[in-house]
Each structure stands twice: as structure tokens, then as C-alpha cells.
Structure 1
Amino acid sequence: MGLQESTVAVIGLGSMGLGMARSLLRAGFAVRGFDVNATALRALTDAGGIACASPADAGVGANIAVIVVVNAAQTQTVLFEADNVVDSLAEGAVVISCATMSPEDARDFAARVGEKGALYLDGPISGGSVKAGDGELTFMASGSPEAFAAAQPALDAMAGTVYALGDEPGIGSSFKIVNQLLAGVHIAAACEAIAFAKSLDLDISRVFEVITRSAGNSWMFENRVPHILDGDYTPRSAVSIFTKDLGIVSDIGRKRKFPLPIGSSALQLFVMTEAAGMGRDDDSSVARLFAKITGLELPGAEEDA
């Protein structure tokens, strides 16, 4: 690979983006990264990447840009506003957009990137920070065959599974929105269930053991309840992420006149948890909300106090 073919710009070095950058470095890419957080930039440098002063700086010499920011607004900033990454990329470069957003935003961004002479892959991700660091993410991707071909070397380094869902940007984002509806509902239900079990004076460690071997189990129950049992709310995925993502789900449902009563109830639980001051904590903190409302003591309650 030449310089352009072997250099990837990663914009957004949070728990997902930094893991993805490390996976790219292991695969032999040169990674130029940008984040507003200086600690994240140091972590990239420690891993062997190049810390850059702006998205534009990160794009120099790259023909693949991976955008791993929080939402559509941040994606728009790094793609189109001052010091944007697109204008500094190599000719024919591809942008892999990973943030959860509405299908309409994905289609709009794809058109505007195309006007600048670059390709766009609508590539939202799932799997969490551990899989990001292991190069085992799931990509729900859509875009032109040319965009897939240009992105493939980076996808090979970052993904365990790539679903090619269609030629039109927006399809991948639609799949991700369905995933986030289910994920948010399952987290909220798991937190409600384990708090309810505590209110019944059950040993919640034993409840976890039994439920994970029973029909009521879910991936989210199995993944999130251990955080509650440990009283460890270090954010692997923050409450605010689901306030945002279920908000997008709700907005889409309202525009399409499609009822989403279960998703809306889950959204309100995340909103209440964030309003209670836990927005930056792990999304399993919904269980702490139930504990605060009902006077229960979950593990780690002394630290909370």
C-alpha cells in the first residue's frame, strides 16, 4: 500500500473511535486522529497514531475517513464546516459515517460529500467498546459499490461482520435505528427487572444466574446487569446515548405517524435518569433511578451517597 492507501483519518476518539483506531493500527494502517479531548489524543499517540489539531489536519494524506462522533450535528461539523476533513482528503476518498442518525440526515450528508468529490458509506456500528478494540464490530452499511470497495480495507480491520444492506445511504441508518429501539428497551427492561427483584428481597446475583439460563434473558440483561451487581457505573455506554438515540426513534415515529409506546416509555426512563444527574454514567444507571425512587439499596449505594 502507498501512503494514501495506508492512511486512515479517524475523527472522534471516544470509547468506540479509539478502539477502532487501535484496530486500524494493528492492521498496519497509519492513523491520523482528531478529538476535542486532549486525553484521547494522547491515548492515540501512545498507541502509535498521529494526533492532529483539526479534522482537516487529520485528513491530510488519507483516502479513508472514519467519523465516530456522537450525532448528526457533530458529523455535519466535521464534514462541512471550518477545518473539515473532507476538503483535505485524497481524491476519490471515502467517508465512513458511523454516528447514529436519521436516514434523512445520512442521505443529505451523502449527497453533500458527493458534491465535494468523495464517496460516502452510511456505516453505523454496534458492539460496544470492547469489540471496537478487538476489531469485531458489526457494521450496518449502505452505499454505492464504489464506496464499499474503497472502504473495504478499513472495514476488514475494524469489523467482525459487515452487513451490506443496499446501494442507497440511509438504509444502514434505518437498520441502526431499529437496533437502538430494541437495545434501549432491553436495557430499560433489564434495569426495571433487577430493581424489582431487589424489592422482592431476592439475592440479585442469584436472579442473574437464573434468568440468564431462562427464557426471560436478553443480551442486554446478560451484559448490563453485571455492572449493577458490581456497583460499577463507569460508562461503557452512557445514559445520554440512549436519550439521544431513542429521541431519534421517537422523532421518526412521530413524523411517520407510527406509534412507538414501548420505545417512548424507555426513552422517558433514560430522560429521567439523565435528569437525576446520571447522564454521563453507564446506561445501566436506569436501575439506580428505580432504586432512588423506591428507596432500595443496590450494590455501590454507599459510593453513590
Structure 2
Amino acid sequence: MTSDVGQATVAVLGLGAMGLPMATRLAGAFTVTGYDPMPASRERAETTGLSCAATAADAVVGAGIVLVAVRDAAQVEGVLFGGDGIAPALAPGTVVVMTSTVGMDAVASWTERLDDLGVALVDAPLSGGPVRAGDGDLLIVVGAHPSALEAARPVLERLASTLTVVGSKPGDGQALKTVNQLLCGVHIAAAAEALALADALGLDQQLALAALETGAASSFMLSNRGPRMMHGYDGDADVLSRLDIFVKDLGIVGKAARTAGLATPVAAAAEQLFLLGQTQGLGTADDSSVIRVVAPQRRTAGTDATGTDATGKDTDGTETAR
């Protein structure tokens, strides 16, 4: 493959919660041009000093690496091959790095169509959230031809603290990310149920969380989402990962499992919690708000597990027989 572009020039398409911190992180080591269809997102990016193009096609001109950070497969399709897609503007030798979690279905088609243009696709879904993206502390799993991977490696290593190559073809990264999201979704749902149960049993959630984190029941999602679950009841939890992302991702998990002929009943149960949250208007809230599906409100402060307070009265003020 003959390259007509400079590998030190990067275009970042999608300047949302993950795309913007990745772009600013890359700008510390590469020449970066960003693009987002939302004017407000471009304006926010420009306040960080990032250079933004007026169109996606303009952004990729001269870029050796094009990093795509959009929501789902439909958006990837539109960015690459839609009416305003970048495919006609990509020079031979360009490497497209797809960071989105989109499932495996369309990856083979995208790879083939880009290959016809002399462009390689690196399948590199990632995990870690916006703060870690800005710090270069992401987990990235990669499926790519070795030559494409080597071209993209400096960009990937700038973003990742853990870079795991899982296969030699695009789609392999999506496969492992699907497995990853099964566990993440289940762990968040389980953390929500556990902390809701602690509250229902009259325990202090903060103390319960601290105790659970020291033992065998601990998990990254319990420690990371647990405090946000409690803040969410007060309406002040930061939105670091939207709840409806897990509606999408656990949908991908379910489809992949059915295609493989594998039952995943625990993942399916977790998916239902996130779906319920979305139907209750929590789709754009932080995914930790799934605890409000399990327990819409905290118990009254000072109430014990029997529904009585320290005076021996029911929470409605009536005396309780003992």
C-alpha cells in the first residue's frame, strides 16, 4: 500500500464525551484536526485550542490516521460512506481507527469497501471514560492487519495504558469488546441491586460500599459507580457514561450470543434493567442511575430494616407492636 499522507497528522471525527478528550490528548503529540456535526461541540473543542474543520471531508485531507469516535454502527456508516461521508476524500495509505463499540456485523463490509480505496481499517474499541481518555489511560482492544496496526500504533499508545491486540483482522476487537461489555453491564446492574438492598436492610450505603470494596465482592464497577449511584439520588451525579449506551451495548451482547447459539441469561436480565431505565426517562442520565430502577427512592434516614425508626414508630408516625 503506497501512502500519500503523513502519519503524524490525525483527524478525529466525533468530539463528544470521548472524542474531545482523545483529540486533546493526541494534540500533545500530533497535528490534530477535529470535526463534529454539532456546532456547539466544535466550539467547545476550539476553546481547548483544537483546530476544527467545517466538514468531515475537510478534516481528513492530509491525515494519515483518521480516528472515528461516534455512537453506533449507523453513525460509523454515515461518517464513512454516507452522503457527506469521508470515503471519497481519503487518500491511499490512510488508516481509519474505529474506536466505537458497534458489534461485529458491519465490520467486514467496511473493511472491504475501504480496502478497495487503499485504506486500512483498525478495529480498536476502547474503555475507560472521558477522564482516562484525556490522561491516556484507556483500555483498547485491537483487531487489525499487522501493517495497519503498526501505522496506527503511535496514536493508540498515546491513548492507552493497556493496548491488547486480540486478532489480525477487524472485527476481532469488537468481539472482545462485546465480552467486556457483558461483564461491565452485569457488574453495574449487580452493584445497583447490592447497594439498593443495603439501603432496604437499613444499612448505611456509604459504610456498606466501603466494606464491600475490601472483600471478595469488590469490583471495578462497584467502586467506580457505587459513589455515583448514591449521588444520583441527589440529582448531582456527573454524566460520565450515559445509561442508554448500555442499552445499545447489551443489545449487541444479546445479538452476538444468539448468533453464537449461547444462552446469556444474566446479561439479558441486566439489559432489561437498563431498558427500564431508558423507558423511565433515564437514558441520558449516568448509567449509575440504574439503581433508581431497582429502588426509585432511598429509605427514610434513620429507618431500620423492619420499616420502623429508632423510636419504635412506623415511618408514617404510628406506634409499632413489638
Q: TM-score range by the shorter chain?
A: over 0.9
Maintained 8 Å contact 2:5/2:94: no
Identity fraction in percent: 40
Over 3 Å counting, the alpha-carbon distance change for 1:258 and 1:3 in structure 2 is: closer
* CA shift digits 1:28-67 (9 cap, x unpaired): x121111122222122212222222222121111010001
Q: How far off is 1:4 after superposition?
A: 2.6
Greater shift in the superposed pair: 87-96 or 184-193: 87-96
Partner of 2:270: 266
Distance of 2:77 and 2:263 partners within structure 1: 29
Distance of 1:130 and 1:152 partners within structure 2: 21
AA partner of residue 233 (structure 1): A
Over 3 Å counting, the alpha-carbon distance change for 1:209 and 1:35 in structure 2 is: same
Maintained 8 Å contact 1:124/1:139: yes
Distance of 2:209 and 2:134 partners within structure 1: 27
Distance of 1:108 and 1:192 partners within structure 2: 40
Q: Secondary structure at the match of 2:221?
A: helix
Maintained 8 Å contact 1:131/1:137: yes
Q: Say if 2:80 is the partner of 1:79.
A: yes
Maintained 8 Å contact 1:16/1:128: yes
Distance of 1:46 and 1:298 partners within structure 2: 44
Maintained 8 Å contact 1:86/1:118: no
| TM-score using structure 2 length | 0.88
Partner of 1:302: none
Q: Say if 2:283 is the partner of 1:279.
A: yes
Distance of 2:177 and 2:74 partners within structure 1: 17
Q: Secondary structure at the match of 1:70?
A: coil
Q: Secondary structure at the match of 2:163?
A: strand
Maintained 8 Å contact 1:10/1:21: yes
Partner of 2:41: 40
Which runs of structure 2 are paired with 1:188-267 in the superposition (5 Å)?
188-231=189-232, 232-267=236-271
Q: Secondary structure at the match of 1:214?
A: coil
Which runs of structure 2 are paired with 1:142-161 in the superposition (5 Å)?
142-161=143-162
Q: Any gaps of 5 or more consecutive residues in structure 1?
A: 300-305
Maintained 8 Å contact 2:124/2:141: yes
Q: Secondary structure at the match of 1:15?
A: coil
Distance of 1:32 and 1:5 partners within structure 2: 13
Which runs of structure 2 are paired with 1:118-157 in the superposition (5 Å)?
118-157=119-158
Greater shift in the superposed pair: 39-48 or 70-79: 39-48
Q: How far off is 1:297 after superposition?
A: 4.6
Distance of 1:161 and 1:228 partners within structure 2: 27
Maintained 8 Å contact 1:71/1:101: yes
Q: How far off is 1:75 after superposition?
A: 0.5
Q: How far off is 1:85 after superposition?
A: 2.2
Q: How far off is 1:3 after superposition?
A: 7.8
Greater shift in the superposed pair: 131-140 or 105-114: 105-114
Q: Which structure is higher in helix share?
A: 1
Q: Secondary structure at the match of 2:12?
A: strand
Aligned residues: CA RMSD? 1.7
Maintained 8 Å contact 2:5/2:64: no
AA partner of residue 14 (structure 2): G
The list of structure 1 runs, each at least 4 consecutive aligned residues, that deviate by more than 4 angstroms after superposition, is none
Q: Any gaps of 5 or more consecutive residues in structure 2?
A: 302-322
Q: How far off is 1:298 after superposition?
A: 8.8
The structure with more radius of gyration = 2
Q: Secondary structure at the match of 2:24?
A: helix
